[in-house]
Chain A
Amino acid sequence: MRYSQIRRKSIFGVVIAIFLLLTGCVTLPPDALKPGPESLADRQLQTRRFDGIIENDLLSASSGVLQDLGYTLTESETKLGVIVADKDRDATDAGQVAAAILIAMFGGGSMAIEKNQKIRISLVARPASDRNPKSHYIRVTFQRIVWNTQNQVTRIEPLRDPKLYEGFFEKLSKAIFLEAHKI
């Protein structure tokens, strides 16, 4: 292949790449509304059953835990067992800061690093049986949005770390114990 041909091809490639990046006509992934292979594992991770407490008390214990964790409630509908909360926090990662400093040191200019994040949580209580009003499932789902120092969104993602869910339910169990004993 001649040099000019290669050049022509590479220009074409770059143009196509820019086109794909900028049009923003990204289509919905075909499996977006299908239960995925990990959805059963997610369900188990995100759900716990609580017995011996009525739904309203369960929800008030849950809102207590959310407050303990620094969330502010943004929406609640007790008739449907729904609580929604979020918190805005620092998202600075030491590794990214180090990389940015390194790049700046070698004259690479300032690099945008992740700065802020909004963590959202929805908590839904659901009766575990039709007969027993004191048995419920609680399912929580977390997600977050991260912005960098230039206020661009860098990440929009669900939070899947099992430790996060285990930690949350551990705190909730304690709160329910306190609620049940009215402490």
Chain B
Amino acid sequence: MMKKVIYFIVVILTLIVTGCANTGTQQALSSGESQVKLRSFQTRAFDTTDKEKMLRMVLATLQDLGFVIDKADSVLGSVSATKLSGYQLKMTVTVRSRGTTQMLVRANAQFNLTAVEDPAPYQDFFNALGKAMFLTAHAVD
């Protein structure tokens, strides 16, 4: 019996040490999901051409969701923000024009030490942003 327990503990410890991410420098260029798939659920198109207004709405939405803004740049069209609520959630949102009638909004998020690669939270974010804009967010092909 004791042997079994020890065996179990060893397995658990191995899992703990290896953790859920590979360590080391390869992390700098790693991403779990495929690049195309990531972009598709991290990006939405909005029917507006006003970049400044779009960025201001992104700021308002982030504040609404409990974020504190870290950085904003109107030329680059980017906003970064952090939410602290027992956990740390960091987000960067970029806005750029697409054609002559739309703006593309791209978001990516990091939860504690991992990238958020689940479509659902991004869906929630774009829903909140769409409501703030009174506009519908279109999926991008």
A interface residue numbers (CB < 8 A to B): 4, 8, 11-12, 15, 18-19, 22-36, 39, 42-43, 46, 75, 77, 79-82, 84, 120-122, 124, 126-127, 139, 141-145, 156-158
Interface contact A23-B69, CB-CB below 8 Å: no
A10-B83 Cα distance, complex, nearest whole Å = 37
Closest to B124 in A: A33
B59-78 CB contact bits vs A (8 Å, 1 = yes)?
A: 11001111111111110000
5 sample A-B contacts, Cβ–Cβ < 8 Å, listed by A number? A4-B1, A23-B19, A121-B68, A122-B69, A158-B84
Q: CB of B118 within 8 A of chain A? A: yes
A-B residue pair count with CB separations less than 8 angstroms = 139
A60-B8 Cα distance, complex, nearest whole Å = 62
Specify which of B16, B65, B69, B112 is in contact with A124 (CB 8 Å cutoff): B69
Q: CB of B135 within 8 A of chain A? A: no
Q: CB of B36 within 8 A of chain A? A: no
Q: How near does chain A come to B103, taking the closest CB pair, in angstroms? A: 15
Interface contact A25-B60, CB-CB below 8 Å: no
A80-B62 Cα distance, complex, nearest whole Å = 14
With A156-B85, A158-B85 as contacts: A141 and B60 at CB distance below 8 Å: no
A68-B40 Cα distance, complex, nearest whole Å = 45
Interface contact A34-B68, CB-CB below 8 Å: no
Interface contact A82-B59, CB-CB below 8 Å: yes
B1-39 CB contact bits vs A (8 Å, 1 = yes)?
A: 100010011001001100110000000000000000000
Interface centre among A23, A33, A35, A79 (most CB of B within 10 A): A33
Interface contact A33-B1, CB-CB below 8 Å: no
Q: CB of B137 within 8 A of chain A? A: no
